[in-house]
Structure 1
Amino acid sequence: MKYKFLALFFLGTLLSCGDDNGTETKEELLSEINYLASNDVISNPERGFMHHWAVESEGTPLNIVSLNSLKNENVTIINRIYYLDLFKDKDLSAEQLNLITSDFEKLRTAGIKCILRFAYNSNQDESDAPLSIVERHLDQLKPIVTDNADVIAFVQAGFIGSWGEWYYTTNNLTSSENKKAVLEKLLEVFPKEIKIQVRTPQYKQEFSGNSTPMDAIVGYGTSDVARIGFHNDCFLASADDYGTYQNITEDKNYISKEALYVPTGGETCPPSGVPTSSCETAANEMSLLKWTYLNLDYYGPVLTVWKNSGCFESFQKKLGYRLILKSASLKSETAGNSNFELNVTLDNVGYAPVYNKKNTFLVFKSVSDGTLYKKPLKIDIREVIPNVNYKLNESVNLSGIPEGQYKLYLKIEDSNSTISNKPEFSIQLANRNTWDADKGMNDLLHTLTIN
């Protein structure tokens, strides 16, 4: 009896020491994975080169064939500008409103988003509309943009002056009071998730009464200040981009910090003779100012310089975000109904972060029958900022997932339920042999056995 007691004692001691001191068990074996970065041009939502497609009042709607052809150019966004020249003194017509609604439906079908702008003319010698008409038109547009917010990437403030560029007004809309009124109305009408871009940093500073860049607490929120970004329609045209900047160094530093949270984009225009559009200069400016999109249709000679100099493809890759998997440390086996520790390192080698909220999931795909189990993650993908390693460390509860073998995937999908299951609106990570185009998810190249 004495020897039986001692044997049980030693066995209990051995088991206890193994648990308390972290003795490696089969369940704790880890796979260390190093991922290979892709060198491909990758189409991802809300970023990259865009096409500028304007339409006159009650004009021709978007064409689904033309929208589908954009995939061949790695284009996922268009700058859709509606000229409202027929309505400078009256309500928008049913035909005009139907045109806009129809366009949104086609965008959704094609897997494309738009950068939206409204204006009253495309010639500096023509008039715009008075403030009362602008506000009335925005009231008319509210239900349409609310219902179709899922396919609106960003909004350029528009409405004021020729081309909606907040200049050449004939109705005194560029006064501080009227600019503020138009911007307030835009912020009121468009859903809080949508960001509004103004033409210069000074316009935002005048509106907010503050020239200090916002921090993350404000920037990731939905206050008015957190929603105002920038579009520059004379990028690289002169030292101050034709008046875009007042104090060049200070203004650029301001935008650089703001653009951690709000988008910067636009187009080039004819340079003033200063050689500002070289590959090196353009790359440095895009990196500093965190450019997320750029017009593919204007200004042609600048784009030609980039193509002839061999940097155009680099800009295709790096405009906006370019997220990559760097490494992972993952268990190979675990118990059912336990927690699985997800330890992944991400990087962003693009010029800018993601600006619109996304929903991110760890997806378990059954090796035996292909069934998918999605587990939501807490990560805010907007926080994966350029050139800073991001540690994605989360504990994922496995309840509801049966025993078996599972391939693991990371799915970063649109936050709007209307398009969340469309792979065109999910984010593809820039790695080799990881993208599942049918499901819109990224293979972590790891198989987990749940016992």
Structure 2
Amino acid sequence: MKKFITTGIFAVALLAAVLPGCKKDSSDPDPVEPEKGIAYESMATPFANPERGFYKTLIRKTGEAGLVQSQLNTYRASNISLVLRFFYLDGFKDKAISAEELALFQADLDKIRIAGLKALLRFGYTDDIAGTDAPLAIVTQHIDQLKPLFEANKDVIAFVQAGFIGAWGEWHSSSNGLSTTANQRAVLEKLLSVLPAELMVQVRTPLYKQAIYGTTNPVNSSLAYTADGRARVGHHNDCFLSGGTDYGTYTNVTAEKKFVSDEAAFVPTGGETCPPTGTYSPNCLEGRNEMKYLKWTYLNLDYYPTTISGWRLNGCFDEFQSNLGYRLAAVEGFFPDEVAAGGTLSFKLSVANKGYAPLYSKKTVAVVLKNTVSGTFYDLPLQADLRTIKPELTSTIEETPSLAGVPAGTYSMYLRISDVAVSLKDRTEYSVRLANKDAWVAEHGGINNLSHQLIIR
């Protein structure tokens, strides 16, 4: 024991003698400060965002008046950004659509654009189960006639429902024998051929899509966002939450819902509710579970009224209004306090999707710097594709955009998520708002405050 103590004392003395003469190696790194992030507070308050949420149904038959601008202008105050414009071609079942009618279609879409809304489009010939539609030759002629309309208004068209065949354009009960896979394929392929490549079509049941493409395999990440027809076809269910097969929407309910759920990570789902069947109750729990599972992006506010009013009465309407479609929220950001002029900005931001569905339309994403003295804005483009942020997931945007052209000064930092269309990119109504408390700023086309100041020297 004494030897151990003696050795210990000697070692301490030796260490004391050596340490004063030790010098730090110049190659040793300085202590690294722990990375400090900005935590963002999310919120549950409903608000409008493009291409998602509850929608209003606006139906027009041949000879009826067009949309009323003052009515459209009121919708955003109710957090509505989407309308279904259903054009019945009942006066043109045996002839071309008139120039006057096509002009009215264009006038309606102009009004939708003025109101800061986007449209779901559907065309049909009858709203009577025993009514008549048009023969295939007329349908294809009409689709060709609509090509310029689709191209001119692709900025405000959210999705196109396949339509044209049978009652309500729902692809059944065709008086001209169009409710066959061959004819359905002909209509769908014709529609896809005239639509701008960025627009998606929705069909009424999953079995229709499976039969047309000859596969029960859902669209996956390798096929998504390509020009392949399957990657451009989603689903609309016009008897959602009615119980059982949803009035024939499904045959094998479990398998086909799984197919839609898997596909909806990449192609849109939406529709409207119907009167419930049997003892089924479309209550808050059922609505929440089904919308989450099927990744529901939009729902008719006007039908079925008893279901909608039940949600209001039982306190889940606002929840559904908030969570239909995508709901992106900043989680944490890491940014430098100072950078050199002409260099790059180290930008790292995690974003969560708290909604039921992803984004389906590509957006333009940019860091925005606002000079705190002059008020001048500078946009730094990012390459991030926000469509990849799927429901209940968090993704990190980590990029180093160039600061070229941004002068020295102090800047407030924002995130801008704008429409890719030149006609809409500077309009606040078409920019994506993050679900964060006190973040939204309705200037410079709509931007989200990242609560950080940057000094450029």
TM-score w.r.t. the length of structure 2 is 0.93
Q: Is the 8 A contact 2:225 2:232 kept in 1?
A: no
- Deviation for aligned residue 1:16: 6.1
- In 1, Cα distance between equivalents of 2:251 and 2:314: 31
Cα distance change, pair 360–15 in 1 and its aligned pair in 2 (3 A) = farther
Q: Does 1:449 align with 2:449?
A: no
Q: How does 1:84-233 map to 2 (within 5 A)?
A: 84-233=89-238
Task: Tell me the SS of whatever aligns to 1:202.
Answer: helix
Q: Which has the higher contact order (CA 8 A, sep 6+)?
A: 1
Q: Does 1:338 align with 2:343?
A: yes
Q: Is the 8 A contact 1:88 1:128 kept in 2?
A: yes
Pairs aligned (count)? 434
Partner residue of 1:61?
A: 66
Partner residue of 1:327?
A: 332
Name the aligned partner's letter for residue 285 of structure 2: E
Q: In the TM superposition, what whole-angstrom CA distance separates every residue of 1:241-291 from its partner, at most 9, and x where no partner exists?
A: 111111111111111110001110000011112324011011000000000
Name the aligned partner's letter for residue 159 of structure 1: F
- In 2, Cα distance between equivalents of 1:189 and 1:350: 32
Partner residue of 2:46?
A: 41
- In 1, Cα distance between equivalents of 2:88 and 2:30: 68
Partner residue of 2:404?
A: 399
Q: Is the 8 A contact 1:31 1:331 kept in 2?
A: no
Q: Is the 8 A contact 1:340 1:396 kept in 2?
A: yes
Q: In the TM superposition, what whole-angstrom CA distance separates every residue of 1:22-42 from its partner, at most 9, and x where no partner exists?
A: 656xxx996521111122111
Task: Tell me the SS of whatever aligns to 1:59.
Answer: coil
Task: Tell me the SS of whatever aligns to 2:62.
Answer: coil
Partner residue of 1:5?
A: none
Q: How does 1:193-342 map to 2 (within 5 A)?
A: 193-342=198-347
Long gaps (5+) in structure 1 = 1-12
Q: Does 1:363 align with 2:393?
A: no
Structure showing greater Rg: 2
Long gaps (5+) in structure 2 = 1-22
Name the aligned partner's letter for residue 381 of structure 1: L
Task: Tell me the SS of whatever aligns to 2:357.
Answer: coil
Task: Tell me the SS of whatever aligns to 1:397.
Answer: coil
- In 2, Cα distance between equivalents of 1:441 and 1:191: 28
Q: In the TM superposition, what whole-angstrom CA distance separates every residue of 1:160-180 from its partner, at most 9, and x where no partner exists?
A: 001101111100001111000
Q: Is the 8 A contact 2:44 2:319 kept in 1?
A: no
Partner residue of 2:389?
A: 384
- In 2, Cα distance between equivalents of 1:97 and 1:361: 37
Name the aligned partner's letter for residue 361 of structure 1: A
TM-score w.r.t. the length of structure 1 is 0.94
- Deviation for aligned residue 1:64: 1.2
- Deviation for aligned residue 1:331: 0.7
Task: Tell me the SS of whatever aligns to 1:396.
Answer: coil
Task: Tell me the SS of whatever aligns to 1:216.
Answer: coil
Task: Tell me the SS of whatever aligns to 2:102.
Answer: helix
Q: In the TM superposition, what whole-angstrom CA distance separates every residue of 1:162-220 from its partner, at most 9, and x where no partner exists?
A: 11011111000011110000000110111110000000111111121111112112112
RMSD: 1.5
Cα distance change, pair 340–29 in 1 and its aligned pair in 2 (3 A) = farther
- In 1, Cα distance between equivalents of 2:228 and 2:64: 35
Task: Tell me the SS of whatever aligns to 1:164.
Answer: coil
Task: Tell me the SS of whatever aligns to 1:116.
Answer: strand
Q: In the TM superposition, what whole-angstrom CA distance separates every residue of 1:87-132 from its partner, at most 9, and x where no partner exists?
A: 0000001111011100111111111001000000111121000000
Q: Is the 8 A contact 1:434 1:442 kept in 2?
A: yes
Q: Is the 8 A contact 1:236 1:269 kept in 2?
A: yes
- In 2, Cα distance between equivalents of 1:348 and 1:174: 38
Question: Among the aligned pairs, what percent are the same residue?
Answer: 44
- Deviation for aligned residue 1:79: 0.6
Kindly indicate which of the two structures has a greater share of residues assigned to helix: 1
- In 2, Cα distance between equivalents of 1:16 and 1:123: 85
Cα distance change, pair 17–450 in 1 and its aligned pair in 2 (3 A) = farther
- In 2, Cα distance between equivalents of 1:283 and 1:322: 15
Task: Tell me the SS of whatever aligns to 1:254.
Answer: helix
Segments ≥4 residues shifted beyond 3 Å: 13-18, 28-31
- Deviation for aligned residue 1:15: 11
Q: Is the 8 A contact 1:58 1:95 kept in 2?
A: no
